[in-house]
Chain A
């Protein structure tokens, strides 16, 4: 960086009286011998004066009223949402973690209960012992192709439910959950050998298998 470039970097500090004593001496010494830098300082000073004289935008008279109108609308919407929230059932994250059950498990439980009811109505037998964990899979129902000219819709393949039985006392208890249909109380347990936690009935319906479908 040559001397004039160094002066350029100090123009603002010099004009705003923020240069250090050493910088001030340096600039003043150079200006006494350099017409280019003297012109630079002078022209930048004039440009700054022009900036300070630049007319300012005046907002329209209705500016403030328009802002207030928008915020009043926000306040009304905020009140409505607060009232709606206050009427909703309380469900806090703390309670969720207290029970130790992820939200997905609660949804799976509801599906499991419906599947159990459907299985009982169809008369399907239990497929495994209650004391050892087992998994059974039923073959998918055959799908009849639609007859030409018919109006029936051919359903897609139905995934069979997984029936998992688990005896009490095995594995580690992770907490209890009351299903939303109040059909029973279930305990979330991890298998002794590890793996995915499983819901198992512990209260009024100990004989009822847990059916988890996905």
Chain B
């Protein structure tokens, strides 16, 4: 039951209280929700988590292809949003901010995996981060979870994406899977808009070439 236009400040209460407040926050834009988060509303923060959790985990997953680890990193991105909530400025989109955090966490994870493999070759590191990616195999996703990638075609496409060099993969994922605007991608990746366009164009052509090897008749 709502109490006026502004709900009472959330104090640890019942699950029913939390659900009531979530209903209120559901229609608020991200930037207004952040105001409530800064003011101490857990329900507002929960709404933001619900709103972005799938997209965040998808983005991270496309980087590292590790289901369990992508979940950890997606949660870590939200924790960092909470930790630095008072630094958020409405001049920028909330989505840009949180996607930037997630992308940086994913890139750090790639570097961490390279170190863990005790690979000292600088050439290999360059390959992983910017050259032709030998591919980070999904070693954590159990067979049952592969329901998330139904069909052989989907697996082929997912494998082809994973084999793209990171700089092309990330641009392609943000544009063609997450549907972000070029300008937002440029801000997230910290590169000029022209560079984003050229990388996405190049990534699409590379992806097309990789898919040709597994082509159906349509391709």
Which A residues have a C-beta under 8 Å from some C-beta of B? 8-9, 11-13, 40, 43-44, 46-48, 50-60, 63-64, 66-68, 70-72, 74
Contacts and interface: CB of A to CB of B under 8 A. Distances in A.
Interface in B52-88: 53-54, 57-58, 61, 67, 70-71, 74-75, 78-79, 82-83
A44 B79 contact: no
- Interface of chain B: mostly helix, strand, loop or mixed: helix
Contact of A11 (B53, B154, B201): B201
A51 B54 contact: no
14 contacts: A9-B201, A47-B211, A47-B219, A48-B204, A50-B153, A51-B161, A51-B207, A53-B154, A55-B151, A56-B54, A59-B54, A59-B74, A64-B53, A71-B45
Interface in B130-178: 148-151, 153-154, 157-158, 161, 172, 176-177
A97 to B, nearest CB: 27
Given A11-B201, A11-B205, A71-B45, A57 B70 contact: yes
B87 to A, nearest CB: 15
B49 interface: yes
Contact of A57 (B57, B79, B172): B57
Given A60-B71, A63-B71, A47 B207 contact: yes
Nearest to B211: A47
Contact of B49 (A50, A51, A67): A67
Given A50-B211, A51-B157, A57-B148, A40 B79 contact: no
Contact of A70 (B79, B212, B218): B79
A173 to B, nearest CB: 42
Contact of A44 (B74, B82, B208): B208
A12 B185 CA distance: 16
B75 A58 contact: no
Nearest to B72: A66
A9 B54 contact: no
Contacts of A64: 46, 49-50, 53
Given A12-B197, A47-B211, A55 B149 contact: yes
A67 B42 contact: no
A59 B211 CA distance: 28
A65 to B, nearest CB: 9
A43 B207 CA distance: 10
A44 to B, nearest CB: 5
A34 to B, nearest CB: 16
Contacts of A66: 75
Contacts of A68: 42, 45-46, 49
A52 B201 CA distance: 16
A58 B61 CA distance: 11
Nearest to A65: B46
A46 B46 CA distance: 38
